[in-house]
Structure 1
Amino acid sequence: MLLNAALEFVTNLLARVLGSSLVRRHFHLLLSALVLFGPVLSFWVSKYSIFANSNHYLYRKFLRSTWGWTCIFTGSFIALLSLSARHPFSLCLRHLSRVGLAGLFWWGCRRLLTLLEDAAGTCYEPMNPAQDAQSSASPVQPLLLLHEDQNKASCLKAHMLWRGYEVSQDILILCFCCLLLVEEMSVFGSHLEQEKPLQRSPGTPLRVIFLLCVVLLLVWMFLLLCLLAYFPKFPSQQLGGALGYLWWKGLYQGLYRLRSRWGCPGLPAEGLFYHGQWPKERDELINGQERERQSI
């Protein structure tokens, strides 16, 4: 009982915070400020910190599968929310298609960025000073041997030097996942308000998955801050953050606002809540309560 009460209190509080107009309208500004000014923290962080190690457990287990974790938790939350609101399964699939469409965009974005990086960059092999005939005569920097047949992946795998255009895909996906989580979780407060007149409370699984989504959001923001502070790369990280914002803007402020008859999955709250017209079960519940009062 105590754990359930604590879970209900925490999730209700988080739902009010994430559903507030202040968070929904200005969270992207907070994220933008973090991406722009986060590298300034590199002057104060310790290079001997455990987070300065790129092979840290947090980076290996979460950063390399950012979209996978986001897809699992967000999809579970959307499915449980639709079932808790007692809507048809077709509406649940429609809202889940938002995650699938975002994943399709992420796959295409990765392919496009990889092609651009391969086209705009060049692979070089640093020559061994022992192989350079003039290295003993003049202390110049080692020469670089050009490899035009190498792409970025094969070049780095061969421990050679890659120079060229680059966009931080880690910052891109972290920014987008943070914006997506806030957008999807912001409707939980409206769901709680709708369930109050029906004297129903969201089940424990829905509250738990909502809390896990909030924890995941905090993890992504912490990873974003760590990358900016311990591994600053200007301007590739800022370009990645800008593309992540534009990706979210194009989907949630553009494509998802189109009408559903055009095959659009719609916004997170579309079709889940009643505005002006209430479900039949609520009318029956209110009428039953009125009859009980009159009989008393």
Structure 2
Amino acid sequence: MDLKSENSSNGWTTTDINLEKLHKIATELILPGRFLFRLLNGALVFVTNLMARILGSNPVRRHFHLMLSAVVLFGPVLSFWASKYSIFANSNHYLYRKFLKSTWGWTCIFTASFILLLSLSARHSLSLCLRHLSRIGLVGLLWWVCKRLLTLLEDASGTCYEPMASAEDTQSSASSGQTLLLLHEDQTKASCLRAHMLWRGYEVSQDVLILCLCCLLLVEELSVFGPCLARAKPQQRSPGGPLRFVFLLCVVLLAVWISLLLCLLTHFPTFPAQQLGGALGYLGWRGLYQGWYRLKPSWGCPGLPGEGLLTTTYGDGQAQ
């Protein structure tokens, strides 16, 4: 009995020692983790405050569309200095394949997430949140209508050609100095390009259109974060980390869209198709954010970004 009691006591002692060691190891790991978390959180707060101050400033809010217009108009001039061996000169680049064809999808997901978190943080009102989210739906509807109309216009005004493939035709075309083509009148632009034939007609760059529209949309929606931070500062109620992180993702997305726009204008200039696309994107933003959204609620408009949110504090549902 004495041996068993000694073994059991020794066993408990060993277990206690192991638990103490595990506790010390966990403590040593938690302390650096907390320090790293505070460091990252401080960096997130600093960067988001800086970007919110920049995007919420009067020069950016009033003149960003002018800067974007200058980029669209004079961006093709950069093609004289661009290298054809650049990685961005390849139309199959990763950015083009993964982002350019799904520009509206990325913008819709990130912007809607930011509006949702901002609305719920400022006002716990589902109706107000849905009203602000409806702006994204209206822009999406505008993009779908423009895309369908431009596709119909291109199919109606363009023509599909197939180069002559025989040797005799090739010799005759070389002697005349002109490329002989076979006409295909029953082809649409999509089917013509899928068949590796040539499409000639009036075109409007849909890529430049949606990039300009998304850039203007992001600036409009993100510009209210700075005033919201200013409203929340006196009450010492800073927005949470998830809202700041989503805001930072939206800023990164804005930078990606501007970079893609510059790459398209520099390496694949098509005048005046790209300028027409930029003009349509500007007119769409102008008609919604500078026109309809400024009307009274009786007109069924969802209102401007931040409307109904800047009069409340974070975490408080009562108006100031």
What amino acid is aligned across from residue 13 of structure 1 in structure 2?
A: L
Show the counterpart of 1:33: 70
1:237 aligns with 2:274: yes
Number of residue pairs the alignment of both structures matches: 280
SS in 1 for 2:91: coil
Question: Residue 124 of structure 1 contacts residue 161 of structure 1 at CA under 8 Å; is this kept in 2?
Answer: yes
**CA 1:131 to 1:53, structure 2 compared with 1: closer, same or farther past 3 Å?**
same
Distance of 2:125 and 2:168 partners within structure 1: 72
1:61 aligns with 2:108: no
Q: Where do residues 150-165 of structure 1 align in structure 2 (5 Å cutoff)?
A: 150-165=187-202
Question: Residue 171 of structure 1 contacts residue 237 of structure 1 at CA under 8 Å; is this kept in 2?
Answer: yes
Show the counterpart of 1:290: none
What amino acid is aligned across from residue 166 of structure 1 in structure 2?
A: E
Show the counterpart of 2:54: 17
Kindly state the Cα deviation for residue 196 of structure 1 after the two structures are TM-superposed: 1.7
Question: Residue 123 of structure 1 contacts residue 161 of structure 1 at CA under 8 Å; is this kept in 2?
Answer: yes
String of CA shifts for 1:246-266, please: whole Å, max 9, x gaps.
Answer: 110011001111222322111
SS in 1 for 2:172: coil
String of CA shifts for 1:58-106, please: whole Å, max 9, x gaps.
Answer: 1100001000000000000000000110230110000000001100110
Kindly state the Cα deviation for residue 140 of structure 1 after the two structures are TM-superposed: 4.0
1:226 aligns with 2:263: yes
1:213 aligns with 2:235: no
Show the counterpart of 1:253: 290
Distance of 1:137 and 1:245 partners within structure 2: 45
SS in 2 for 1:31: helix
Kindly state the Cα deviation for residue 160 of structure 1 after the two structures are TM-superposed: 1.0
Question: Residue 7 of structure 1 contacts residue 207 of structure 1 at CA under 8 Å; is this kept in 2?
Answer: yes
Question: Residue 156 of structure 1 contacts residue 162 of structure 1 at CA under 8 Å; is this kept in 2?
Answer: yes
String of CA shifts for 1:99-145, please: whole Å, max 9, x gaps.
Answer: 01100110010000000111111111111242539729944433211
Distance of 1:280 and 1:113 partners within structure 2: 45
Among residues 164, 170, 186, which one is paired with 1:149 in the alignment?
Answer: 186
**CA 1:23 to 1:126, structure 2 compared with 1: closer, same or farther past 3 Å?**
same
Kindly state the Cα deviation for residue 281 of structure 1 after the two structures are TM-superposed: 5.4
Q: Where do residues 180-199 of structure 1 align in structure 2 (5 Å cutoff)?
A: 180-199=217-236
**CA 1:18 to 1:136, structure 2 compared with 1: closer, same or farther past 3 Å?**
closer
Q: Where do residues 258-273 of structure 1 align in structure 2 (5 Å cutoff)?
A: 258-273=295-310
String of CA shifts for 1:164-199, please: whole Å, max 9, x gaps.
Answer: 100000000000100000000000011111112222
**CA 1:132 to 1:85, structure 2 compared with 1: closer, same or farther past 3 Å?**
same
SS in 2 for 1:135: helix
Give the RMSD, CA atoms, in angstroms: 1.8
Show the counterpart of 2:125: 88
Distance of 1:137 and 1:189 partners within structure 2: 64
* Structure showing greater Rg: 2
Show the counterpart of 2:205: 168
Question: Residue 66 of structure 1 contacts residue 173 of structure 1 at CA under 8 Å; is this kept in 2?
Answer: yes
Amino-acid identity (%) = 77
Distance of 1:217 and 1:210 partners within structure 2: 11
What amino acid is aligned across from residue 189 of structure 2 in structure 1?
A: K
Question: Residue 176 of structure 1 contacts residue 245 of structure 1 at CA under 8 Å; is this kept in 2?
Answer: yes
String of CA shifts for 1:208-251, please: whole Å, max 9, x gaps.
Answer: 00001000000000000000001111110011111110110011
Distance of 1:149 and 1:280 partners within structure 2: 61
List alignment gaps of at least 5 residues for structure 1. Answer: 284-296
Distance of 2:174 and 2:318 partners within structure 1: 91
Distance of 2:174 and 2:190 partners within structure 1: 36
Question: Residue 191 of structure 1 contacts residue 273 of structure 1 at CA under 8 Å; is this kept in 2?
Answer: yes
Show the counterpart of 2:158: 121
String of CA shifts for 1:1-38, please: whole Å, max 9, x gaps.
Answer: 11111111111111111000000000011101111111
Distance of 1:233 and 1:137 partners within structure 2: 27
Question: Residue 87 of structure 1 contacts residue 272 of structure 1 at CA under 8 Å; is this kept in 2?
Answer: no
